[in-house]
């Protein structure tokens, strides 16, 4: 699973792809975000807890995080790759986002400490009344077809028997889960995200995959290596890894479409051979039954 995280992060490192992803997921495909609007951010999440004289620290990493200009404002947009359904995902996302807000808070406090410009309640808070933080938005990119886990913190809370007013006060914390396997707007992508999403959707259905390859022939023929690697890892398509190894060794030059055609042809041949073997086995069984009926004497 860590391999898929790394490959997804490497793939979305290209700003045009990240912009394309955000535009389709958040703006119905309209080119609101441009590649030049995207800035890389340190993916490290720093946790600092001070209890008395002790200071506890922890460092972990998010899959992808970018600072994105949206008009005159900025937002922190994060992407978490998921290969399995994490049933605690709302808590996990909330924890990630809180860490990023805490980092902004620490930075702002340090700025005010150096300026010594706070008094009263502002001094006790460490920030000014008018200070504001950048919004942190997390997209969960699930490389599967059906997410049956919680999509809101409330889905994880035991509300049974709780008075309505308290249920309201418990608060909501929705998460944005994108099911790649059945995402209905993949054709809106303008980069090779279109081919990546499409292949992931049809990888388990050879006939649909064949039709998809025919339709997306040009894009798949020129697929980049990082997209190729991501598709291979996410769909666990061993045949693509083998074909890539052959290509790297210079034994045979094959593009993505030819590779998939060969893979589908192998599947068809295996199906024919399995059918022939089944037919032979059924023939042998029928032959034995006829022999038994002829030789049987009551």
Query: What pLDDT digit, counting tens, does each position of 202-254 carry?
Result: 988 888 888 888 888 888 878 888 898 898 888 877 666 666 666 555 544 45
pLDDT digits (tens, 9 = 90+) for 149-201: 999 999 999 999 999 999 889 888 999 999 999 999 999 999 999 999 999 99
CB atoms within 10 A of CB 215: 12
Q: Say what the pLDDT of residue 4 is.
A: 85
Give the residue carrying structure tokens 């292949």: 199
Tokens of 92: 């996990």
Helix (H) or strand (E) holding 136: strand 136-142
Ranked by mean pLDDT, which of 51-65, 179-193, 280-294 comes out on top?
179-193
Q: What are the structure tokens assigned to 239, written together?
A: 């045949």
Listed ranges 84-93, 213-222, 277-286; the one with the highest mean pLDDT? 84-93
User: Residue 67: what pLDDT?
Assistant: 96
Residue 298: what pLDDT? Answer: 47
| Mean pLDDT rounded to a whole number for the chain | 83
pLDDT of residue 275: 47
- CA angle, 61 as apex, 56 and 62 as ends, to 5°? 130
Domain boundaries, the chain: 1-187, 192-293
How much is the pTM?
A: 0.79
Contact status, residue 68 vs residue 25, Cβ threshold 8 Å: no
Please, what is the angle between helix 2-11 and helix 225-235, to 10°? 150
Closest by alpha carbon to 100, among 52, 65, 128, 50?
65
Using CB atoms within 10 Å of the CB of residue 200, give its burial: 0 to 12 exposed, 13 to 18 middle, 19+ buried: buried
**267 and 261 in contact (C-beta within 8 Å)?**
no
E strand or H helix at 47, and its extent? strand 44-51
CB atoms within 10 A of CB 45: 20
């Amino acid at each position: 699973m860590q391999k898929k995280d790394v490959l997804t992060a490497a793939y979305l490192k290209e700003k045009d792809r990240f912009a394309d992803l955000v535009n389709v997921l958040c703006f119905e495909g309209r080119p609101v975000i441009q590649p030049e609007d995207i800035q890389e951010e340190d993916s490290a999440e720093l946790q600092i807890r001070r209890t008395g004289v002790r200071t506890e620290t922890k460092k972990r990493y998010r899959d992808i995080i970018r600072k994105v200009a949206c008009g005159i404002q900025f937002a922190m947009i994060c992407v978490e790759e998921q290969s399995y359904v994490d049933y605690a995902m709302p808590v996990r996302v909330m924890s990630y986002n809180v860490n990023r807000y805490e980092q902004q808070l620490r930075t702002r406090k340090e700025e005010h400490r150096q300026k010594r410009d706070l008094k009263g309640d502002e001094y006790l808070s460490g920030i000014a009344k008018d200070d504001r933080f950048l919004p942190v938005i997390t997209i969960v990119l699930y490389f599967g077809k059906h997410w049956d886990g919680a999509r809101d913190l409330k889905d994880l809370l035991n509300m049974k028997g709780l008075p309505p007013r308290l249920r309201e006060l418990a608060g909501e914390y929705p998460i944005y889960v994108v099911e790649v396997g059945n995402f209905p707007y993949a054709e809106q992508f303008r980069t090779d995200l279109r081919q990546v999403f499409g292949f992931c959707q049809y990888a388990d259905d050879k006939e649909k995959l064949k039709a998809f390859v025919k339709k997306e022939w040009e894009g798949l023929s020129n697929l980049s290596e990082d997209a190729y690697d991501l598709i291979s890892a996410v769909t666990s398509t061993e045949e693509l890894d083998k074909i890539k190894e052959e290509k790297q060794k210079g034994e045979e030059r094959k593009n993505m479409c030819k590779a998939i055609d060969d893979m589908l042809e192998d599947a068809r041949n295996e199906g024919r051979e399995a059918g022939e073997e089944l037919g032979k086995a059924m023939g042998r069984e029928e032959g034995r039954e006829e022999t038994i009926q002829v030789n049987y004497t009551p």
